[in-house]
Chains A and B, each alone.
Chain A
Amino acid sequence: GENVEQHPSTLSVQEGDSAVIKCTYSDSASNYFPWYKQELGKGPQLIIDIRSNVGEKKDQRIAVTLNKTAKHFSLHITETQPEDSAVYFCAASSSYNTDKLIFGTGTRLQVFP
């Protein structure tokens, strides 16, 4: 079945710097890759997603890139702010059930003012 690896597990950046989180997946048939942000005490919030027919997608300070050949995708946050501090999870859809998401292990991002 699908397996998703996520790195790094923790990431500390200075406010205004960029942050990059990377995920790799095992199933070449996966076609949907969302990113979630989870703040302390809250449920995961969908922040951006990408499908396998697109190589990059941007939404203001957030972007996601997908390399289908290498089977990896990345989240890029530019001009980080303290409110970006949270745990970020990547996920990939299961090829045999596209409604099922397999989650990465999470990255704790800390943005220091």
Chain B
Amino acid sequence: SAVISQKPSRDICQRGTSLTIQCQVDSQVTMMFWYRQQPGQSLTLIATANQGSEATYESGFVIDKFPISRPNLTFSTLTVSNMSPEDSSIYLCSVEDTLAGEQYFGPGTRLTVT
């Protein structure tokens, strides 16, 4: 399975600021996904990011709040903009192994907004 890293692993941010989260995978993948996991909750898909095209956002998530970049087949970023305490969550990236049809997750970024 792919090895996925995320930076930063955790951060504490002031409300009104923005944070960019990086996701790096050790092999080329077509599809990358960004999820949010609120404290003690399940995983909710924010958007799907394919290289060379605009990210596709799920209902309730907008590009202005969560802009995503996907410059190549091994890297993506998610920005959480104009943060509020309600944005305090774990943000996870995942990749799909197209041949196996399986998704693998990174370790997550734990964000606290004060």
B48 at the interface (CB under 8 A from A): yes
Could you list which residues of chain B lie within 8 angstroms of chain A, going by C-beta atoms?
A: 1, 4, 31, 33, 41-45, 48, 92, 96, 101-108
Could you list which residues of chain A lie within 8 angstroms of chain B, going by C-beta atoms?
A: 32, 34, 36, 42-46, 49, 89, 98-101, 103-106
Contact between A44 and B101 (Cβ–Cβ < 8 Å)? no
Report the Cα distance A101→B33, complex, angstroms: 10
- Give 19 A-B contacts (CB < 8 Å), ordered by A residue: A32-B101, A34-B102, A34-B103, A43-B4, A43-B105, A43-B108, A44-B43, A45-B105, A46-B102, A46-B103, A49-B102, A99-B33, A99-B48, A100-B45, A100-B48, A101-B45, A101-B103, A103-B42, A104-B42
Nearest CB of chain B from residue A87's CB, rounded to whole Å = 9
Report the Cα distance A78→B28, complex, angstroms: 36
Besides A49-B102, A100-B45, A100-B48, 5 more A-B contacts (Cβ < 8 Å) are A42-B108, A45-B105, A46-B1, A89-B43, A104-B42
Contact A89-B42, Cβ < 8 Å, known A46-B1, A99-B31? yes
Contact between A99 and B1 (Cβ–Cβ < 8 Å)? no
